[in-house]
Every structure is written in structure tokens, then in C-alpha cells.
Amino acid sequence: MKHAIVIADGAADAPSAVLGGRTTLQAAQVPTLDALARRGRLGVAPPPGPDIATTLLALLGYPPEKHQAGAGALRALARGQQTDLHAEVFCCDLVTVIDGYLRDFTAGFIPTAEAAPLIGALNAEFADAGFEVRACHSYRNVALWEGVGKLAALPLSPPDQVLHEPLERHLPRGRQAQPLVDLVLRAHRLLSEHDVNVVRQDLGENPANAIWLWGGGPLPRLPRFAELYGVRGALVAGSDAARGLGQLIGWEVPAVPGATGLPDTDYAAKGRAAVELLDAVELVCVHVRAPYILGRLGEVAGKLNALAAVDQQIVAPLLERLSAEPDWRMLVIATPATSALHAAQQPLHTVLLLAGSGIDSHRGEAFDEQSAAIGEIQPERVCDLMEYALRR
């Protein structure tokens, strides 16, 4: 049997007044997903995790009480960067801070070429402290920090969860955390005066005038997915954290030109790559990060366009390819994320859709939160979903 999994990160949402009380899934043009919902099974599950690494581990069937991974170490793995066993590894994102508030966790999607001199300035400033930043893509980077104890164990939220809030409110407290706090504040002073940011401000662009450290932790040892589930897998993703995890569990993770893990990602290229991979493996997973980023930034129109692109350029070609197989299944997962400007008043659920061989239903009418709430798939833990989809 051939399997496809499409993870639309952040696609599930709360109703929005801008959309007349509808959610983005309800307002988006997703005819393929709606048709698939009418022939498959819908359902909901609890939110999978507080960050991308925890989320993907759970969605791919790795219980969080047994397996953990830091997003920083996964980014480094995806980029082929060697990490010192004695260094703490973090995600080190360039962000925009204005009057003490974190206003843009993407720093205006700063180009990698413009980020390079900022990273060079940081490395020159903190060389004596054993702190090194390594470039990844745009605002996303990796930092290695030697000789600072167990800073990676400190509670550090991803920067999108700090959006429009005072920076210092979310910095860890206590004597152990002081080196990290001092470094972040010192980096803010350094970057605020850098020529790159002066020019960006003159052009009306958000400056990359601060760093945010999160996702710390070592690279874990994980059992291979094929050993757990008896299925060979492949991953199509632009996010380095997702790509690193795919490599860690033994999946094929090809480089797809144009797949950035950002809103400018090439959806069609990801769809074509996934279709081609189905010839070589039993399971292909496509991860799309853009809906999450756009949702957290409050860009409703952009998120609607991203969901339509997932439907038309990823789900539709995968469904056409699968339909040529005698036995197939497709699992679509929409994880939740609300706009940072309009936080939900109640916890949101992960929206699930399973269709294909041996799967039937007569409940759902559309791929959205309302139809999913009355669906048959109701796992207590999202990490149980993989077993259900593959072996039910």
C-alpha cells in the first residue's frame, strides 16, 4: 500500500471577524480537500506540541514521553553542520525589536545575503565567549555555545510565541540564565547600530536588530521509522528542523529547489517531488510551514493563498498519483495556530483527514474545524495517529 501524509502546519485556526466568523480553512478555496473529506474520515486530536520539533515528533508517531529533540540540533543536522559535543545548540533567529517589544519574528524575511554580515558581527563580538552563529536561511540560524552549563534546558519559547510582547518578559530568570540574558541584550545593542539595519530602516524594512535563542538540546538517538512501522519513508520539506528530523529517523530527504519553509516556498515543486518519491518508497510526507508563519503574523489573505496552494499543487497531484494504485491512503493533518493579534479564547484542536483503501464515512462535508469536530477519528494522543493511519 502507498501512503501520503500532508502536514499543513498552522492551518487550523479560530474563527475570524475579518472572515465573517469563519476560520481560514472554511474560507479557503480547497476543493480537493473538501471532496476528500466527503469520501474519508475526519477527526480531531490535541495540539501536538509547543514547537516544531515536538510537533513533528508526535505527528510522526514518536511519543513525547520517550523521545525529544531540540530544533537547533535538527537544523544543524539538516545543514550538514558538525556540532561540538560540549556545546549547547540553539536555534538563533534574527528578529525585530522595537521599544522593547518583539514586533516581527522573521525580521522582514531578511535575505540570507543581508543576514550574513550581521552574523559575522555577532561572531566577532562573542568569539571570546565561545558563542558562534552559523547561517541557515533568511532569519533562521543555529548557534553553538561552549562552556555555559545547561542553558539548553531553560524554558525558551519560539519567537513567534513572543510576538507583540516585551522581550524581557520572556527571557529566563535566575543566576543560571544570566549569561543568556546578557548575551541577548548585548546582541540587541550591537545589531541595532549595524549598517545593514540602518539601510533596512531607511528603506522602510524591518531591521534584524536582535536575536532570539530557543530550541536548545542535543541531537537525540531515535529508532528508525522503518523499524517501528515497517514502512520506508521520504520527506519533502523546506524547514531545516523538519528535514533534520526526517534524516534522523532514516527517511529519504531530497533537496527540492525552491522549497524554503517560508511563505515564498515553491508548492508545485514540492508536489512534483512527492509524486516522484512514491515510486521508490511506501510513504511520502510533505510538510508545509507557510500557513503557520502567515497565521502568526496575522496575514489572513496570505494564509488563504497558502492553503489554496497546498490543495491544488500538493494534495491534488498526490491524490491523482495515489488513485492509480490498487491500495492507498492519504492522511492530511492541519495543526492549530492562531494569529498573535487574535488569540483563541479556548484551546484549538488538530484537524485530521484520512481517506483511501478501507476508509469510509458519511459525516464530514468539508475539510474544516466544524466538520472535523464530529468526525470518527478521536485519538487521545496525536502520537497514536500514525499507528491508526498505517495499520487500521
Beta strands in 181-226 (DSSP E): 210-214
> Model confidence over 126-166: pLDDT tens digits?
999 999 999 999 999 999 998 777 787 788 999 999 999 99
Inform me whether the pLDDT recorded for 347 exceeds 70.
Answer: no
Please state the domain extents for the chain. 2-66+221-391, 75-214
Q: Distance (Å, rounded) from C-alpha 165 to C-alpha 101?
A: 5
Q: Which residues make beta-bridge pairs with 211?
A: 94
The pTM (predicted TM-score) of the whole model is 0.95
> In 3D, which of 261, 262, 270, 351 has the Cα closest to residue 299?
262
Q: Distance (Å, rounded) from C-alpha 385 to C-alpha 121?
A: 45
Q: Distance (Å, rounded) from C-alpha 240 to C-alpha 222?
A: 18
The mean per-residue pLDDT over the stretch 18-24 comes to 94
- Would you call 186 helix, strand, or coil by DSSP? helix
Our separate counts of H helices and E strands in the chain read 15, 11
In this structure, of 142-156, 212-226, 256-270, 352-366, the range with the lowest mean pLDDT score is: 142-156
**What is Dmax (Cα atoms) for the chain?**
64
The mean per-residue pLDDT over the stretch 121-126 comes to 98
Contact between residue 41 and residue 355 where contact means Cβ atoms under 8 Å apart: yes
The confidence score (pLDDT) of residue 383 equals 94
The mean per-residue pLDDT over the stretch 15-30 comes to 94
The confidence score (pLDDT) of residue 155 equals 84
Residue 81 phi, psi (nearest 5): -95, 125
In this structure, of 96-110, 133-147, 280-294, 330-344, the range with the lowest mean pLDDT score is: 330-344
> Model confidence over 184-236: pLDDT tens digits?
999 999 999 999 999 999 999 999 999 999 999 878 889 999 999 999 999 99
* CATH value of 2-66+221-391 in 3.30.200.20, 1.20.200.10, 3.90.1150.180, 3.40.720.10: 3.40.720.10
The confidence score (pLDDT) of residue 87 equals 81
Q: Distance (Å, rounded) from C-alpha 29 to C-alpha 220?
A: 40
In this structure, of 106-110, 357-361, 371-375, the range with the lowest mean pLDDT score is: 357-361
Instruction: State how far Cα 218 lies from the chain centre.
Output: 19
Q: Which residues make beta-bridge pairs with 213?
A: 92
Contact between residue 283 and residue 331 where contact means Cβ atoms under 8 Å apart: no
Residue 202 phi, psi (nearest 5): -65, -30
> Model confidence over 75-117: pLDDT tens digits?
999 999 987 766 889 999 999 999 999 999 999 999 999 999 9
